[in-house]
Amino acid sequence: MSGKRKGLSSAVHVRYGRGGSARRTVTLNPTGSQKAQQDASKRQLLASMSQAQQHLIHGAEPPAGDGADFGGQDLSLLPLLSAGDEGDFMSHAGGEYQLCQELLEELVTPAKLDMRTRRDRIQLRNQAWEEQMEDLVNAYLSWRDGHEPSEPKKHLDMHHIEVHAIQFFTTLSLAVTMDACETYPNIVLARRGYLGTAPRNPSIAIGFQVLEAYRQLHRVCPKLSIYGQVKALCHLHKQPFRRTLVEEFSMTFDVYLEILHRVDQRVNRTLRHDAPDWRLRNVCPPCMYTLTGEPELPLSLLCEMDGNSSLKLVDSAIRAGAPRIDERTFRSDIWITPDEVDRFKDEVASSDKAAPVDPDGDSNTEWVDVSAPVVLDNCVERWRSAAPEERKWMFPLFSVVGIFSSYCKHGHPLVACDMIRSGKLRKYPLAIVNRLMETFGKKIGLAYDVGCDLQKTLMNSSLGTRARELELRLLVPAFHGHAHNRLCQHWISMGIFS
């Protein structure tokens, strides 16, 4: 059956006026576009009417002589106003309908969503501190030199801020006068010996002496946390403890450490100690300072390396919430980047490695004397850290499972790298060996708990040729030596005393 009903009229013709001379076509079932066109025509007609004509249409008596003449047209034949259209006659100029429509659209349209989140609040705070860091360093040095801050000249562009300044035993309300050209209040506070807890509009300022005292106390007693320091300050000032104070003190202390770091950079630049490897070459004077005319030693440097899985970092994909954006990186040359470590991830194929190690680690099998060519292979089978690479996996809970570091024989740190999602893979010691050879050159003695296995790995890697030329000697510390094969121990002693 067709959707269009037959026999029905879609429009009728209406005649009006004197003698029916005027004719008008009225659509019975108008479409949407036809309705919109009719509404527009009606609004245009109503807007063109005078005030008196509008009164007549509403049925009211028009004022005398106000242009209420319709030119002999019958008022009953004019289009009547539907309910709600009376607002079209608010003024003679019209346009109120369009205004009402705009207001209705604003009410119907949902408010603009604020797409900002708190994920980047740390990054925004760091950027705000970075913008004023050099000026803060200058203000800090001025305060250390004992320069009294000069009061700005009074003029109309001056403004005042008031902060709570915290010292060890006193808290005072500090009124600071700022010039119009001074954007950051912390620069003015730093000249007076204080640092605000916020980069732009601080309400609390902590004295440099309080921050320096905590730095030295934490230096000699690492167990002293910021939580304990803040709680002690609350007791001294007889104030209730709030956890937000811990976060504010922590942020301010980070900025204070950055100021001290910038001061050290200026000093090192002046002394020409700013070379990329200057710290590594001078970290231990007994190991690295060579006297003029000093006889050459069998080993120019004796150091050790090993991995530790205590410093783990839980993966952000497993932790609740979204990770916060923080683009800060380490500032010391002690760290080897993951990209530099990954250069050696495919140096030795896993198929060339030893058989899996007993996970219980309780084997009491006696060591047997074997010929020299297989001495290293025997030791490889007995050490968990010398197991095949595919067995050195770690729970997916951790993104960083520990650090792999190297130290001189006096305990000074040389280089270190993060162990990422794995155990003691061979790429970590290879990266450290590469950095040590680049820095110190010939005749390095490097101790490792499975130095015998690393010797084999190193000689088969891309570093093997350079290691032979620089006479690198891999050793096993005495702490681990007792667990190695007797012939392996003999090979170790030959490496030291040859």
Radius of gyration of the chain (CA): 42
Is 170:153 a contact under the CB 8 Å cutoff?
A: no
- pTM of the predicted model as reported, rounded to 2 decimal places: 0.64
pLDDT tens digits in sequence order for the chain, 498 residues long = 444 445 545 555 555 555 555 565 656 566 777 778 877 777 777 777 766 666 666 655 555 555 555 555 545 445 555 555 555 555 555 566 677 777 777 666 666 666 666 677 888 888 899 999 999 999 999 999 887 776 666 665 677 788 999 998 988 988 887 776 777 889 989 999 999 999 988 999 999 999 999 999 999 999 999 999 999 999 999 999 999 999 999 999 999 999 999 999 999 999 999 888 898 999 999 888 888 888 888 888 999 998 888 888 887 777 776 777 777 777 788 899 888 998 888 776 543 444 344 444 443 333 333 333 444 555 655 555 555 544 455 567 788 888 999 999 999 999 999 888 776 688 899 999 999 999 998 889 998 888 777 888 888 888 989 999 998 988 877 766 666 666 666 655 545 544
Q: Which two tokens stand for residue 422?
A: 């794995």
Which amino acid, 15? R
| Helix 486-497 with 451-459: angle, nearest 10 deg | 70
Is 47:88 a contact under the CB 8 Å cutoff?
A: yes
Q: What is the CB-side half-sphere exposure of residue 265 using CA atoms within 13 A?
A: 11
pLDDT at 355: 39
In this structure, how many other beta carbons lie within 10 angstroms of the beta carbon of residue 268? Answer: 14
**Cα angle at 258 between 252 and 261, to 5 degrees?**
145
Q: Which two tokens stand for residue 236?
A: 């001294």
Long-range contacts of the stretch 179-185 (C-beta < 8 A, 24+): 179/152, 183/132, 184/131, 184/132, 184/135, 185/161
pLDDT at 354: 43
DSSP state string for 352-373: GS-PPPPTT----PPP----GG
pLDDT at 365: 33
List alpha helices for 271-388, DSSP H.
278-282, 285-288, 338-341, 375-381
Q: Which two tokens stand for residue 30?
A: 């108008």
What 3-state DSSP class applies to 474?
strand
